[in-house]
Amino acid sequence: MTKDVGYDALEQDLRAALAEDAAAIAPGEALGSILARTADEPPVRDTDLRGLHGLRGRRGRGAWPSVRWSPAVFAGAAAAAVVAVVAWAGVGHRPAPFSPGGPTQPVATSAPTGSASATSAPTTGASGTISAGPGTGGRAVPVYYVTDVPDVGPRLVREFFPSSTDSAEAAAAAALNLLTTTQPSDPDYVSLWPSSIELRLTVSGSTATVDATDWPVNHGSAYEAMSVEQVVYTVTAADPAVTSVRFRVNGAVPPSGHLDLTAAVGRGSAFSTVADVWILEPLQDATVGSPVAVSVYGTAYEGVTTLKVFRGATEVWSGTVTTAMGQYAQASTTVELPAGAYELRAYTGNGKDAAVTLWDTKTFTVH
């Protein structure tokens, strides 16, 4: 790791230790008004925030301000850090969720690509296994997909779909069914689980078991790990009582060449698993009026997310919004545009130089 200018070795070690400890924290999650009854009601307010809080745990992403600490200041800061860690331990490492509660996003309406009925509700068999089915009533359910970010690799992003389910456990089963049978609305998003694989869900306490009929064939350890995270994030978002997922293939431990999946696994750190930013609105291929409402959800160095609008190859607008640093937050703006077809792009910087990362795009039309 390259040492940042202005740090002495002790300061570097303290910062790294605190960041690693914070990255291991998994805060609580409440689904709030994700439980919208239909896609025709007001946008879903998502509070799927577990694992998205705390200090940034990824080293080398962004830069802390360059400072010189005197021995007295350093000693005081170290003592304060110890007090903070003790106080944090006293509340079970569960910081309060954000207020007012996360991003607002319309519900996608992609049709299933598999054979599952679009109106069938999940049913529970004699064994307690829930067979999932998407629907048009009930609650909106979150589904995590994977996007391949240039120079970063695979990361999770999320879309919401209507479902005919009413319970959290059934919603998790419906979300798993959507994960394998429904194409995301954004063509840059994919599921690493093909429709040929059935995912059967059972829940016992805070642990879900997902028994697959086969194991996905992925290219390399990063994508296999992300296929596991895709299921874990989807299940734990749809059913907040679940904190870990046990994977099986026809009752046996999955035949992974890279992972030990004997025991149940929880969510990985959001900062190395979830995309730094994605676009909530406009939705992919939406037709909207002007001014165009633009909303993103993410994290960035000093919270700065750069937005650019292109018409063909020509940039016609650019601006910035502020999300958050060290946590995820929503940010919104409006853009005046004449009628036409456009693409919105969302970028973040690294806090060190002019380099930026393109995280998400959405095409839309202004009428």
Strands of the sheet containing 329-335, edge to edge, are 277-281, 292-298, 329-335
The pLDDT value given to residue 108: 55
Q: What confidence category does residue 219 fall into, taking pLDDT thresholds of 50, 70 and 90?
A: confident
The pLDDT value given to residue 139: 77
What digits encode the pLDDT tens for the residues 280-305?
A: 999 999 999 999 999 999 999 999 99
- For the residues 246-273, what does the mean pLDDT come to? 95
pTM of the model: 0.68
Question: In the predicted model, what is the mean pLDDT of the chain?
Answer: 73
Closest CA to 288 of 345, 322, 334: 334
What digits encode the pLDDT tens for the residues 343-360?
A: 999 999 998 998 999 999
Higher pLDDT, 75 or 349: 349
Closest CA to 59 of 353, 274, 359, 350: 350
Closest CA to 114 of 214, 181, 192: 181
Residue 170 neighbours by CB distance under 10 Å: 26
Asked whether the predicted pLDDT for residue 54 surpasses 90, the reply is no
- Calculate the alpha carbon distances from 106 to 185, 295, 315 in Å: 12, 11, 26
The pLDDT value given to residue 106: 60
- The answer to whether 191 and 120 have CB atoms below 8 angstroms apart is no
Whole-angstrom distance, CA of residue 367 vs CA of residue 344:
16
- The answer to whether 242 and 207 have CB atoms below 8 angstroms apart is yes
Is the backbone of residue 218 left (phi > 0), alpha (psi -120 to 50) or beta?
beta
Residues of the chain with CATH 2.60.40.1220: 277-366
- For the residues 42-53, what does the mean pLDDT come to? 37
- For the residues 205-234, what does the mean pLDDT come to? 94
Q: What is the DSSP letter of 155?
A: E
- Distance, C-alpha 334 to centroid of its chain: 24
CATH number for the domain formed by residue range(s) 277-366: 2.60.40.1220
What digits encode the pLDDT tens for the residues 132-186?
A: 333 444 678 999 999 999 999 999 999 999 888 889 999 999 999 999 999 999 9
* Backbone phi, psi, residue 46, to 5°: -95, 135
Pairing label, strands 207-212, 244-249:
parallel
* Segment among 26-30, 231-235, 326-330 with least mean pLDDT: 26-30
